């Protein structure tokens, strides 16, 4: 991810009211994770496993924070039980920013299956999501996804494609 894209995401998150972010890094997310770590207005919690981050974000919401979770799609797939039991079942919103490995533009054959099942799993879980690649779409999509998460009391997701990640 280019530094200007990372900076735009961080700024858009703050604009949307997000003040608490859990992350699990990956090469494509590195600049975003580092930028979140440096930002004073956002409490940043690097986690060891993505579902842990879902639990931390849900707890932060109960305490009045506006949380988001940054992870790759492999981590989203790992988090499905946590999202179902901790967020969707009781009605707790968390904004999910999901890097999409194995989507269009992917060069690494090893990511193909994870890439192919990501959207069907989001759909199966009834998580409303938007796919984002173009720079100018980042800010309005983060604002609107966060709005829906808060009003619906459910997690919403933004799937960052290769255009955003490279």
Residue with Cβ nearer another protein (29 or 86): 86
Query: For residue 14, what are its two tokens?
Result: 């703050």
Q: Which position has the token pair 């998580």? A: 127
| C-alpha–C-alpha distance, residues 56 and 84, integer Å | 15
Q: Rule CB under 8 A: say whether 45 interacts with another protein.
A: yes
Q: Closer CB to another protein, residue 7 or residue 78?
A: 78
Strand partners, 67: 20
Q: Residues 14, 28, 34, 43: which binds another protein (CB under 8 A)? A: 43
Buried b (16+ CB within 10 A) or exposed e, 151-162: eeebbbbbbbbb
Q: Which of 6, 10, 65, 158 binds another protein (CB under 8 A)?
A: 65
Q: Can you tell me the distance from the alpha carbon of 127 to that of 88, in angstroms, rounded to the nearest whole number?
A: 9
Cα(127)–Cα(35) distance, integer angstroms: 27
Q: Of these, 11, 59, 77, 121, which contacts another protein (CB under 8 A)?
A: 59
User: Which residue lies nearer to another protein by CB, 63 or 120?
Assistant: 63
52 SS3 class:
helix
* Number of neighbours of residue 78 by Cβ within 10 angstroms: 17
- Rule CB under 8 A: say whether 91 interacts with another protein: yes
The answer to the question of residue 82 lying near another protein (CB under 8 A) is yes
Total residues in contact with another protein, by rule CB under 8 A: 34
Alpha-carbon distance of 102 to 67, in angstroms, equals 26
Stretch that binds another protein, among 1-9, 42-50, 110-118, 136-144 (CB under 8 A): 42-50
Q: Which residues bind another protein (CB under 8 A)?
A: 20, 43, 45-49, 51-65, 67, 81-82, 85-86, 89-92, 150-151, 153
């Amino acid at each position: 991810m280019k530094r200007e894209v990372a900076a735009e995401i961080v700024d858009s998150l703050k604009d949307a009211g997000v003040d608490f972010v859990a992350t699990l890094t990956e090469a494509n997310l590195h600049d975003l994770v580092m930028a979140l770590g440096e930002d004073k207005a956002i409490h940043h919690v690097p986690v060891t496993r993505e579902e842990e981050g879902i639990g931390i974000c849900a707890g932060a919401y109960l305490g009045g924070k506006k949380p988001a979770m940054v992870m790759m799609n492999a981590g989203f797939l790992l988090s499905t039980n946590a999202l179902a039991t901790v967020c969707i079942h009781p009605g707790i919103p968390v904004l999910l920013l999901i890097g999409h490995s194995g989507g269009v533009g992917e060069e690494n054959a090893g990511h193909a299956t994870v890439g192919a099942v990501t959207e069907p799993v989001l759909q199966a879980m009834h998580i409303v999501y938007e796919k984002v690649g173009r720079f100018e779409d980042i800010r309005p999509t983060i604002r609107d996804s966060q709005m829906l998460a808060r009003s619906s009391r459910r997690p919403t997701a933004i799937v960052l494609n290769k255009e955003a990640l490279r």
